[in-house]
Amino acid sequence: MAARKRLVSSTEPSSDSKENTQRKPQEQTDPPIAPPKWGLLLKLSLFSLPYLYLIFYHYTIEPELRRSIIINAGMSLAGFFVTLRMIPVASRYVLKRNLFGYDINKKGTPQGNVKVPESLGIVVGIVFLVVAILFQYFNFTADSNWLVEYNAALACVCFMTLLGFVDDVLDVPWRVKLLLPSIAALPLLMAYAGHTTIVIPKPLVPHVGIEVLDLGWMYKLYMGLLAVFCTNSINIHAGLNGLEVGQTVVIASAILIHNIMQIGASTDPEYKQAHAFSVYLVQPLLATSLALFSYNWYPSAVFVGDTFTYFAGMTMAVIGILGHFSETLLIFFLPQVLNFLLSLPQLSGYIPCPRHRLPRFDPQTGLLTGTNDGTLVNFFLRNLGRKSEKTLCIYLLVFQAIACCFCFMLRYFLAGWYK
């Protein structure tokens, strides 16, 4: 979480401006940002082994579908390297425009006085959209049934990325932020032509009397609310170096594995296509987020800004909606749900809510102490004791991974009984 500082220059000419017309003042240049953390990326690359095992060995996937997934993965890998290259370039430009912040969790140390470029999530959003748009050339035809919804999903992501960047620049009030995802979700809601039914859980069928319930317009309302929740839940579960991008990487990895498993286990072509649709969006999200993670991990060389949190939340929302696994997505978001419930008294105004609900940092020890603010970050510190920022972020990301594993176990044990 950054406390942004803006420089305001006066438009009035100085009294000695005429004396200085013949010479240009030397511009102060900021030092380049730290390079990406390649060691971290190398360790994270080991987690690609389950994905490779499932797609090439464990499941028998149709050659044409596998080809599309591999092409998408290759384009996503290219997007990863482009993002790595573009983040330092974009950092120089945002620093020139005084779009930077100071790390509050390092206040009182030399690192706390370093200008950290803000809103670098814009790079991830742009590269993601370019990859996703170009991929249409290799997979979709002009008469494809999925083409309209695919582009509607990209329109939502593009709209949300723009609104997130506007929020970073204009510092939009919190209550207005709640409305932004509902506006950005309009293209998908208007273009959605899929089913609006839900399957009643088998234990409830004798009591309800039907197996399938058509919700009609209420289903689209649910889609809009899901988009609002996913977008804002990523945004408020923040405040540590690497936490916003880290939780996105963990959830996106779980979504990818879930989709590959569903494609491999199903024999329904439409069901497979729905999950393939999700794969085509989640692979570029994961690749570009990993590139940003290498710069944003502790100690952060860049801040992601609301641009990234809005972009990531909306992308995962449209992936879950059009992949028809919104229930699974919400279980993947279990830490975000808990953080929202802890935050509800402050967000509703029942308890005073400060601008930055961050833990207290002790510059002497380098440790964080939990406050009484209702966030999962402070909840962990209050119950586990004082931690360094890096250690606390690792704990939270491990908890995120445990929630995703719990979801897989829940689906396994409830399969055939629940639905």
Residues 309-344: pLDDT tens digits?
Answer: 999 999 999 999 988 898 899 999 999 999 999 999
Residue 355 pLDDT class (50, 70, 90 cuts): confident
Beta bridge partners of 102: 3
Q: What is the DSSP letter of 271?
A: H
What's the whole-model pTM score?
A: 0.91
Q: Give me the sign of the Cα torsion angle 36, 299, 343, 407.
A: positive
Name the CA dihedral angle for 287, 291, 294, 296, rounded to a multiple of 10 degrees: -110
Nearest alpha carbon to residue 119 among 185, 78, 179, 171: 171
Residue 18 pLDDT class (50, 70, 90 cuts): very low
Chain segment 222-254, per-residue pLDDT in tens: 999 999 999 999 999 999 999 999 999 999 999
Q: Give me the sign of the Cα torsion angle 38, 299, 76, 272.
A: positive
Q: Which two tokens stand for residue 365?
A: 């020890």
pLDDT of residue 211: 80
Nearest alpha carbon to residue 369 among 353, 384, 355: 384
Q: Answer whether 233's CB lies under 8 Å from 337's CB.
A: yes
Mean pLDDT value across the chain: 87
Q: What is the DSSP letter of 36?
A: P
| Angle (CA) 343 349 157, round 5° | 55
